[in-house]
């Protein structure tokens, strides 16, 4: 449902004035009665025609009113839900008081990337899942919107030009190499540089930022925010070498043995697209989500006039998968002009790993959901372009290892779907390049690098974190891992 | 970094440039390639094989035909200009060993990546026979260099303007029928040529290696855009290749994938021609 921006901000202002005009302080019951503030958003009919950010951010009045809903619980279940343990009640009460600078300072004591995490963290399964307000109202969507508040204060600081690069201690003469430039690597680079060690970031792509740059679309995470974090690193004196693929341009051992680096951090992510090994998978028009998203975002296919790297024009696109990546791909396909976008998932909506907000946005934008179905083969014409997807229907059986109920195919339920583009978004494995070229680094059977509880790999002076350790995970977990590894590297270098 | 140090036009549409790239020069091995991108925001990323390199002097050599937007712009660049983004060396190096008689078949621009391989095969002690072919005489490149390596050298043109009037598959077939038959054939050139070279050698069961030049984006195994079907399995050309068993490659699928964006590419290419022409008029 599209909400009117002016209406939202007017109501928030009235609610704020009402609270500020009170003689009595707010009691918990009053706080619970304050309406949860909705996120203003571009109307769905408009946003499908552009790449701009969908969620517009709270107004000041909304931020204060939303913050006033917080009960300041002594046991603070929200902190337990936060992977980097931000002092959430403290920053939220600062928001309620209108002291936004204090709020952002509190967040920054634990999180390096609040403008990003405020946008892409799955708060509904982290800090907001056990929020007392949400529990009392029996709806996690009615929990205090901690993420939106985080985003508000981070954006405000940036808009006011007050976001300064952290101070850097005197040069120590030590050198650290950071491989990859996603959130794990950005965190390590900043935390290690702060201590005065020289840091070089090596990134294979022509632009740094990792998945935040090439995968997550502009309409969910504007690229200038990611670029801002990269600029901050540069301001701190971190050197960033793009077009440098460790393992090929230079081997990891050589960085340590020949180039004089004292420690290395590996943050190379989970960049290997999984395919399903089914007939017709290599037809023209069948993409991995990685390829599709990279074409649209990093290579800017959405800017049809200027970009050299297009995606194929499509009438009916099918996206296979039910995670964030699938939603992003489906929503990009809508914006790239497909008349119909079908999202096909083997289980039900309840099992979808995607964020609730993303599912809702995708539906608003006209993505058609097919649950308990999956593609089993693709057929193409003489030109090699896919024109049909053969599908099968499923029902849910017993729970599997992941605790989700296993999809069981229904015999004889095959049917055909007319498609001219398919995006396979069924997950990513770890990028094997570092492992292949660095025998001393051990991995588990999924190719994830093994680390101890300090973030150290099986090779001396080499640390790792983020998706290359966890498997495809989240930005905040990558950041948390980066913090841990950086602390260990700083301890190692003394 | 990535400064163009030397530039030479080999034929009407084929160019040779030497680019400063010390890291790539010291790590690269025959058969590997680089990814080139000229505009960091909007430019396409294209793979080009490293034709030669000098680790001591820190440069690599690229030979390319101006066929698309990036290669056209690259052809227009001058000594002292820099290539915005150059990534490599990528892909698996050629497997070079002493086998006996090796036939190296190069078509058109494919002679450029073939040259370091032929050289490597010769140095490993093989008898090297080279066949190079092109549509017409003015598209023949590296003839002297290939002659210098080869124990026997055959040149063909489609129109008979130079050497034998034949497709490269003709002499290849003769060599397969000769005694001893080749121990290995390495064929690099347009996909259709590689396909027919593989078809030619198949009945004789002569192992045939081809080097695939697919559409790529990252070049590091991240997108799968470069994938091909080899022996019924999906392979990524950028990390598993670029060289594969020619008898196992599904060339038809590969060529369809290669042509997928033809309409859009032609549009960009056309636009690029107009822009270059306009700049020349202004200058
Ligand atoms: C489409 C999509 C949507 C997502 N949405 C969300 C979301 O809403 N919320 C959320 O929290 N998470 C989301 N994620 C997951 C999140 O983006 C990742 O968990 C996170 O980015 C992992 O960070 P990282 O630092 O480990 O590595 P990455 O961000 O993966 O970065 C790794 C970088 O290393 C580079 N690299 C790899 N190998 C080498 C090498 N050998 N040498 C040099 N460089 C190398 C890569 O090019 C890449 O830039 C999403 C992921 C995708 C793909
Ligand atoms: S070019 Fe992306 S995987 Fe090969």
Interface of A with B in 186-245 (CB under 8 A): 204-207, 242-245
What is the average pLDDT across A253-261?
A: 97
- Co-location of A375 and A468 in the same domain: no
Give the predicted TM-score (pTM) of the model.
0.95
Assess whether pLDDT exceeds 80 at residue A276.
yes
- Looking at the structure, tell me whether residues A139 and A216 fall in a common domain: no
Q: Is residue A169 part of a domain?
A: no
> Do A152 and A235 lie in a common domain?
no
User: Do A457 and A401 sit in the same domain of this protein?
Assistant: no
In angstroms, rounded to a whole number, what is the distance separating the alpha carbons of residues A315 and B134?
A: 40
Residues A154 and A9 in one domain: yes
Statement to judge: residues A207 and A337 lie in one domain:
no
Would you state the pLDDT for residue B251? 97
- pLDDT of residue A1 exceeding 70, the answer is no
pLDDT at A163 over 90: no
Specify if A168 maps to a domain: no
Number of C-beta neighbours around residue A445 at 10 A: 5
| Helix A146-159 / helix A60-68 crossing angle, nearest 10 deg | 140
Residue nearest to atom 3 of ligand 2 (CA): B221
pLDDT per residue over B88-125, tens digit each? 999 999 999 999 999 999 999 999 999 999 999 999 99
In a domain, A487, yes or no: yes
Distance from CA of A233 to the nearest CA of B (A): 20
What is the pLDDT, as a whole number, of residue A239? Answer: 98
Do residues A41 and A85 both lie within one domain?
A: yes
Q: What is the pLDDT of residues B32-51, one digit of tens each?
A: 999 999 999 999 999 999 99
| Angle at which helices A88-96 and A146-159 cross, to 10° | 60
Inside any domain, residue A164: no
In whole numbers, what is the pLDDT of chain A averaged over residues?
A: 95
d(CA B276, CA B5): 22
pLDDT digits (tens, 9 = 90+) for A148-158: 999 999 999 99
What are φ and ψ of residue B100, in 5° steps? 130, -105
Q: Which of residues 187-226 of B touch A (CB under 8 A)?
A: 217-218, 220-225
From the list B27, B85, B224, which residue is nearest A249 (CB)? B27
Residues A466 and A323 in one domain: no
Asked if B82 has any chain A CB less than 8 Å from its own CB, the reply is no
Q: Which of A179, A242, A249 to mutate to test the interface with B (most CBs of B within 10 A)?
A: A249
B81 — pLDDT class (breaks 50, 70, 90): very high
Cα-to-centroid distance, B197 and ligand 2 (Å): 26
Tell me if A65 is assigned to some domain.
Answer: yes
Q: What is the 3-state secondary structure (H, E, C) of chain A?
A: CCCCHHHHHHHHHHHHHHHHCCCCCCCHHHHHHCCCCCCCECCHHHHCCCCCCCECCCCHHHHHHHHHCCCCCCCCHHHHHCCCCCCHHHHHHHHHCCCHHHHHHHHHCCCCCHHHHHHHCCHHHCCCCCCHHHHHCCCHHHCCCHHHHHHHHHHHHHHCCCCCCCCCCCCCCCEEEEECCCHHHHHHHHHHHHCCCEEEEECCCCCCCCHHHHCCCCCCCCHHHHHHHHHHHHHCCCEEECCCCECCCECHHHHHHCCCCCEEEECCCCCEECCCCCCCCCCECEEEHHHHHHHHHHCCCCCCCCCCCCCCCCCEEEEECCCHHHHHHHHHHHHCCCCEEEEEECCCHHHCCCCHHHHHHHHHCCCEEEECEEEEEEEECCCCEEEEEEEEEEEEEEECCCCCEEEEECCCCCEEEECCEEEECCCEECCCHHHHHCCCCCECCCCCECCCCCCECCCCCEEECCHHHHCCCCHHHHHHHHHHHHHHHHHHHC
Name the band, by pLDDT with cuts 50, 70 and 90, for residue B170. very high
Same domain, A240 and A340: no
Q: How many residues does chain A have?
A: 494
pLDDT of residue B8: 95
For residue B7, give both structure tokens. 């530039």
Give contacts of B 129-158 with A, CB under 8 A: none
With b meaning 16 or more CB within 10 Å and e meaning fewer, what string describes A149-184?
Answer: bbbbbbbbbbeeeebebeebeeeeebbbbbbbbbbb
Q: Do A282 and B228 touch (CB under 8 A)?
A: yes
State mean pLDDT over A406-422.
Answer: 96
CATH code at position A487: 3.50.50.60
pLDDT in tens, A79-110: 999 999 999 999 999 999 999 999 999 999 99
The answer on A356 and A296 residing in a single domain is yes
pLDDT for B281 = 64
Distances from the Cα of B35 to the Cα of B38, B46, B72, B213, angstroms: 10, 5, 15, 12
Of the candidates A282, A294, A300, which has its C-beta nearest B41's C-beta? A300
Given pLDDT bands bounded at 50, 70 and 90, which one contains residue A405?
confident
Residues of the domain holding A118: 5-159
- Rounded to the nearest angstrom, the minimum Cα separation between A470 and chain B is 17
Q: Are A206 and A343 part of one and the same domain?
A: no
The string of pLDDT tens digits covering residues B242-275 is 999 999 999 999 999 999 998 877 777 777 677 7
Residue B283's pLDDT band, with cuts at 50, 70 and 90, is: low
Q: CATH number of the domain at A132, please.
A: 1.10.1060.10
Q: If pLDDT is split at 50, 70 and 90, which confidence band does A312 have?
A: very high
Domain C-terminal end among A135, A159, A183: A159
Q: What is the pLDDT of residues B15-35, one digit of tens each?
A: 999 999 999 999 999 999 999
Q: How far is the CA of B33 from the centre of ligand 2 (A)?
A: 13
Contact B148, B134 (CB under 8 A): no
A466 domain-assigned: yes
The string of pLDDT tens digits covering residues A180-193 is 999 999 999 999 99
pLDDT of residue B1: 80
For range B208-231, the mean pLDDT = 96
- The secondary structure element, H or E, covering residue B113 is helix B111-123
- Domain boundary pick from A427, A442, A468: A427
Mutate to test the pocket of ligand 1, among A53, A150, A183, A210 (most ligand atoms within 8 A of CB): A210
pLDDT single digits (tens) A23-56: 889 999 999 999 999 999 999 999 999 999 999 9
H or E stretch including B273?
A: helix B262-282
Which pLDDT belongs to residue A401?
82
Q: Is A435 on the interface with B (CB under 8 A)?
A: no
How many CB pairs below 8 A link A and B? 115
Q: Residues A352, A404: one domain?
A: yes
Is the per-residue pLDDT at A2 higher than 70?
Answer: no
The per-residue pLDDT for range A329-380, each reduced to its tens digit, is 999 999 999 999 999 999 999 999 999 889 999 999 999 999 999 999 999 9
- The rounded mean pLDDT for chain B is 93
pLDDT at A8: 92
**pLDDT at res. B265:** 76
Bridge partner residues of B272 (DSSP): none
| pLDDT per residue as tens digits for the range B266-282 | 777 777 677 766 676 66
What total of structural domains would you count in chain A?
3
Say yes or no: A281 contacts chain B, CB-CB below 8 A: yes
* Interchain proximity B222–A275, CB inside 8 Å: no
Please tell me the distance in Å from B256's CA to the nearest CA on chain A: 6
* pLDDT for residue B12: 84
| B268 contacts chain A (CB < 8 A) | yes
Answer yes or no: is the C-beta of B190 below 6 A from any ligand 2 atom. no
Which domains are present in chain B? 2-90 (2.40.30.10), 101-258 (3.40.50.80)
Is A170 a member of any domain? Answer: no
């Amino acid at each position: 449902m599209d909400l009117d921006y002016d209406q939202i901000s007017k109501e928030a202002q009235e609610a704020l004035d009402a609270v500020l005009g009170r003689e009595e302080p707010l009691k918990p019951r009053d706080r619970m009665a304050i309406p949860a503030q909705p996120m203003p958003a571009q109307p769905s009919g408009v946003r499908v025609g552009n790449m701009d950010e969908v969620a517009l951010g709270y107004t000041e009045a909304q931020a204060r009113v939303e913050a006033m809903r917080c009960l300041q619980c002594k046991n603070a279940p929200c902190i337990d839900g936060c992977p980097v343990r931000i002092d959430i009640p403290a920053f939220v009460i600062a928001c309620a008081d209108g002291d936004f600078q204090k709020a952002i300072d509190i967040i920054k004591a634990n999180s390096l990337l609040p403008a990003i995490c405020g946008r892409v963290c799955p708060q509904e399964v982290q800090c907001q899942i056990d929020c007392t307000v949400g529990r009392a109202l029996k709806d996690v969507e009615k929990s205090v919107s901690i993420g939106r508040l985080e985003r508000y204060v981070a954006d405000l600081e940036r808009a006011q030009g007050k976001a300064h690069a952290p101070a850097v201690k005197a040069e120590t003469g030590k050198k650290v190499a950071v491989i990859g430039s996603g959130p794990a690597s950005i965190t390590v680079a900043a935390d290690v540089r702060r201590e005065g060690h020289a840091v070089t970031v090596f990134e294979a792509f022509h632009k740094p930022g990792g998945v935040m740059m090439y995968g997550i679309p502009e309409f969910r995470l504007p690229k200038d925010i990611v670029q801002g974090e990269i600029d901050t690193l540069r301001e701190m004196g971190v050197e960033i070498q793009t077009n440098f693929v460790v393992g090929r341009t230079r081997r990891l051992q050589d960085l340590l043995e020949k180039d004089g680096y004292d420690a290395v951090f590996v943050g190379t992510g989970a960049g290997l697209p999984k395919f399903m090994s089914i007939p017709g998978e290599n037809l023209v028009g069948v993409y991995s989500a990685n390829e599709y998203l990279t074409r649209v975002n990093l290579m800017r296919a959405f800017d049809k006039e200027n970009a050299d790297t297009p995606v194929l024009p499509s009438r009916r696109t099918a996206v296979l998968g039910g995670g964030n990546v699938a939603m992003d791909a489906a929503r990009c396909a809508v914006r790239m002009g497909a008349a119909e976008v079908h999202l096909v998932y083997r289980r039900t909506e309840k099992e979808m790993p995607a964020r609730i907000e993303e599912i809702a946005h995708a539906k608003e934008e006209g993505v058609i959901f097919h649950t308990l179905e999956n593609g089993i083969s693709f057929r193409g014409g003489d030109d090699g372009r896919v024109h049909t997807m053969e599908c099968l229907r499923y029902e849910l059986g017993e729970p599997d290892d992941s605790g989700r109920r296993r999809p069981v195919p229904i015999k004889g339920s095959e049917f055909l779907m007319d498609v001219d583009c398919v995006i396979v978004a069924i997950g990513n494995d770890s990028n094997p390049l570092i492992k292949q070229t660095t025998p001393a680094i051990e991995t588990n059977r999924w190719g994830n690098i093994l680390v101890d509880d300090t973030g150290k790999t099986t090779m001396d002076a080499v640390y790792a974190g983020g998706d290359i350790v966890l498997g495809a995970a989240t930005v905040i977990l990558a950041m948390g891992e980066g913090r841990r590894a950086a602390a260990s590297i700083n301890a190692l270098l003394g | 970094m990535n400064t163009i140090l030397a530039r030479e036009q080999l034929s009407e549409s084929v160019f040779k440039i030497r680019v400063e790239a010390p890291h790539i020069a010291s790590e690269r091995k025959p058969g590997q390639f680089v990814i080139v991108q000229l505009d960091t925001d909007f430019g396409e990323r294209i793979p080009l094989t490293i034709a030669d390199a000098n680790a001591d002097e820190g440069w690599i050599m690229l030979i390319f035909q101006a066929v698309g937007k990036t290669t056209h712009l690259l052809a227009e660049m001058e000594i002292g200009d820099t290539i915005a983004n150059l990534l490599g060396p990528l892909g698996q190096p050629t497997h070079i060993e002493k086998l006996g008689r090796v036939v190296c078949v190069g078509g058109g621009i494919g002679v450029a990546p073939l040259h370091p391989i032929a050289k490597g095969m010769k140095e490993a002690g093989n008898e090297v026979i080279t066949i190079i072919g092109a549509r017409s005489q003015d598209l023949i490149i590296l003839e002297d260099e290939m002659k210098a390596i080869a124990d026997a050298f055959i040149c063909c043109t489609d129109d008979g303007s130079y050497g034998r009037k034949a497709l490269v598959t003709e002499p290849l077939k003769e060599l397969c029928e000769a005694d001893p038959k080749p121990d290995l054939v390495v064929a690099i050139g347009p996909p259709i040529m590689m396909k027919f070279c593989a078809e030619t050698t198949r009945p004789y069961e002569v192992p045939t290696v081809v080097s695939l030049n697919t559409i790529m984006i990252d070049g590091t195994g991240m997108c799968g855009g470069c994938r091909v079907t080899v022996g019924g399995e999906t392979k990524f050309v950028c990390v598993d290749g670029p060289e594969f068993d020619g008898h196992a490659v599904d060339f038809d699928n590969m060529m369809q994938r290669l042509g997928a964006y033809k309409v859009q590419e032609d549009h960009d290419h056309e636009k690029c021609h107009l822009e270059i022409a306009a700049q020349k008029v202004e200058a």
